[in-house]
Amino acid sequence: MTPEPAILGAITIPVVCALGVAVCHRRPNLREAVTLVAAPLLFLTVGTLLSPVLAGARPSLRLFEIIPGLPIAFEVEPLGTLFALVASSLWIASAVYSIGYMRANREAHQTRFYVCFALALSAAMGIAFASNLITLFLFYEALTLVTYPLVTHRGDDEARRGGRLYLGLLLGTSTVFLLPAVIVTWSIAGTLDFTPGGILAGKVSPGGAALLLALFMFGIGKAALMPVHRWLPAAMVAPTPVSALLHAVAVVKAGVFTVVKVIVYVFGITAFGAETFAWLPWVAGFTIVAGAIVSLRSDNLKRRLAYSTVSQLSYVVLAASLLAPLSIIGAAVHIAAHAFAKITLFFAVGAIYTASHKTEVSQLDGIGRRMPWTMGAFGIGALSMIGLPPTVGFLSKWYMVSGALEVSHWGALSVIGASTLLNAGNYVPIVYRGFFREAREGEPEHGEAPSTMVTALVATSALTILLLFFGDIPIALARALIGR
């Protein structure tokens, strides 16, 4: 397949999948088979773009102009390729997992779930391959809209409240901050095309750039910088496969991907001095530490993972804002590292709920002996969140620390060190409870969750380890991002 049809295919395959799912709504087996075919097909389609990008090519596709000079257009560059590979590969795991979860828990509106899930992947591909800010913005908004029915899936009062907060904060931040930032960039630079070295270089003062940077960073609400993070824990009312989509496959990854893309291709990592970005590492650092503390104090498993995500996302923002080549590599690699580890953790939490209906950390005594595969996978995901070998979380944190040392940013190093200890305090007690405490007397016997769920979580946990030893592709793409 040539690159241009592959770009179009990556965006349209999930749309065709959504249509197929809708048509087959009365035949569940066929409906789910459509997703199981489309997910690997999307991954293979994205995979055809990898070799050209690593060889230095930048395949592109231009559709039409909204107004003269503002086209809907796509270009495949290294960071977008990495995001697309992560999202498309995890769609495969999510599809397998969702079959077991949705059926075992007798969830309603399963057709709508699979349709919206597929449309979310289409929006994610549009974000990944957007060649300019207006194309990215439109797909970014589309992602918010198609995931809203997933957040409100259960249809009760709590789900509707969570959905209102989700929609209000994400649309509010993008309308009040992000869109004005895009318009100001257009008026200053005369273009919205992503350009190596940045499109604002030499066109705005350092102070003006700092203000514009603030509009972008708080306008990209999906990156969950505090104080615009509350949509993320509110969205945990959704079923666990939706939480996995939000935290690992598409939504928050679209946020931090956009942050890195704006810093590298709009501002440029050498165009402005450290004074323009001086405030951002501290905001990101506060989010990292505060999110980890709230997570540590939460007994509910999904709330704990949600605030852990708030914390982990800001590792990417922190690393990108240091503007050091090594830290930019760390930011890009952490997009992949966090995705595989966090989806493993959410898969494990969903499996625990399905098999035992436990939702709190304090209820997990002895569960590792009844669900060894699930809790073993959880332990691997936890190691990656802490940043320890043999997981890929160690790799991304290594580059972040190296980047902070490269620019002698001792505040960033302190944040990374403190948050590593907080992450250990967050996850190690869960694993300890599961394997080294006795189950409470009188608890009903149970085993593992359905095999499709266990297969998916074991696969993602294995990839969390394998990416450390076979991380050539994400590292090569990250190096190509900064021209190394």
pLDDT in tens, 210-236: 999 999 999 999 998 999 888 888 877
Confidence band for 1, pLDDT divided at 50, 70 and 90:
low
pLDDT attached to residue 445:
73
Which of 418, 231, 209, 421 is CA-nearest to residue 309? 231
Average of pLDDT values for 243-266? 85
Q: Residue 142 and residue 119: Cα distance in Å, rounded?
A: 9
Residues in the chain: 484
Is residue 180 scored above 70 in pLDDT? yes
For residues 370-393, give the mean pLDDT.
94
Q: Which residues contact 381 (CB under 8 A, 6 or more apart)?
A: 341, 342, 344, 345, 348, 460, 461, 464
Could you tell me the sign of the dihedral formed by the alpha carbons of 476, 316, 346, 148, in that order?
negative
pLDDT for the residue 391 = 94
Q: Percentage of the chain surpassing pLDDT 90?
A: 65
In a domain, 351, yes or no: yes
Across the chain, mean pLDDT equals: 90
Domains in the chain, number: 1
pLDDT digits (tens, 9 = 90+) for 406-419: 999 999 999 999 99
Comparing 344 with 246, the larger pLDDT belongs to 344
Neighbouring-strand partners of residue 72: 64
Report the 3 state secondary structure along 42-111: HHHHHHCCHHHHHCCCCCEEEEEEEECCEEEEEECCHHHHHHHHHHHHHHHHHHHHHHHHHHHCCCCCHH
Dihedral of alpha carbons 31, 253, 226, 212, sign:
negative
Choose the most confident range, by mean pLDDT, from 9-23, 66-80, 101-115.
9-23
Q: What is the pLDDT of residue 248?
A: 67
Would you state the structure tokens that stand for residue 413, as one six-digit string? 């190093």
> What is the end-to-end Cα distance of the chain in Å, rounded?
28
Distance, in Å, from the CA atom of 309 to the CA atom of 247, rounded to the nearest integer, reads 7
Q: What is the pLDDT of residue 246?
A: 67
Say what the pLDDT of residue 337 is. 94
The answer as to whether 354 is a domain residue is yes
Residue 138 scores a pLDDT above 80:
yes
Is the residue at 12 inside a domain? no
Does residue 225 lie in a domain region? Answer: no
Taking the C-alpha atoms of residue 36 and residue 455, their distance in angstroms, rounded to an integer, is 14
- Distance, in Å, from the CA atom of 225 to the CA atom of 204, rounded to the nearest integer, reads 25
Answer yes or no: is 235 within a domain: no
Residue 394 in any domain: the answer is: yes
Residues in CB range of 272: below 8 A, 6 or more apart:
200, 201, 206, 209
**Residue 225 DSSP SS3:** coil
Which residues on adjacent β-strands are paired with residue 73? 62
Q: How crowded is residue 193: how many other Cβ atoms within 10 Å of its Cβ?
A: 18
H helix intervals, 263-391? 274-277, 280-296, 301-321, 325-356, 367-370, 372-386
Whole-number Å distance between alpha carbons of 18 and 27: 14
Lookup: tokens for 89 = 């590969």
- Contact indicator for 189, 158 with CB cutoff of 8 Å: no
Between 38-52, 93-107, 435-449, the lowest mean confidence (pLDDT) is in 435-449
Is residue 288 a part of any domain in this protein?
Answer: yes
Rounded CA separation 233/230 (Å)? 6
**Residue 364 to residue 356: CA distance in whole angstroms:** 10
* Mean pLDDT confidence for 25-54: 93
CA dihedral 56, 57, 62, 67 (to 10 degrees): 30
Q: What is the pLDDT, as a whole number, of residue 292?
A: 93
Distance from C-alpha of 143 to C-alpha of 46, rounded to nearest angstrom: 19
**Are the C-beta atoms of residues 3 and 51 closer than 8 Å to each other?**
no
DSSP lists the bridge partners of residue 300 as 360
pLDDT in tens, 435-451: 988 877 667 777 888 99
Give me 234's structure tokens. 């509110």
Owning domain of residue 371: 279-484
Task: Read off the tokens for 194.
Answer: 């992503």
What phi and psi, each to the nearest 5 degrees, are found at residue 360?
Answer: -115, 150
Distance CA 141, CA 150 (A): 15
CB 289 within 8 A of CB 417: no
Per the DSSP assignment, residues forming a β-bridge with 67 are 70
Burial of 35 (0-12, 13-18, 19+ CB in 10 A): buried
Between these two residues, 252 and 400, which has the higher pLDDT value?
Answer: 400
Residue 264 lies in a domain: no
Q: How does DSSP assign 93-160, residue by residue?
A: HHHHHHHHHHHHTT-S-HHHHHHHHHHHHHHHHHHHHBSBHHHHHHHHHHHHHHHHHHHTTT-SHHHH
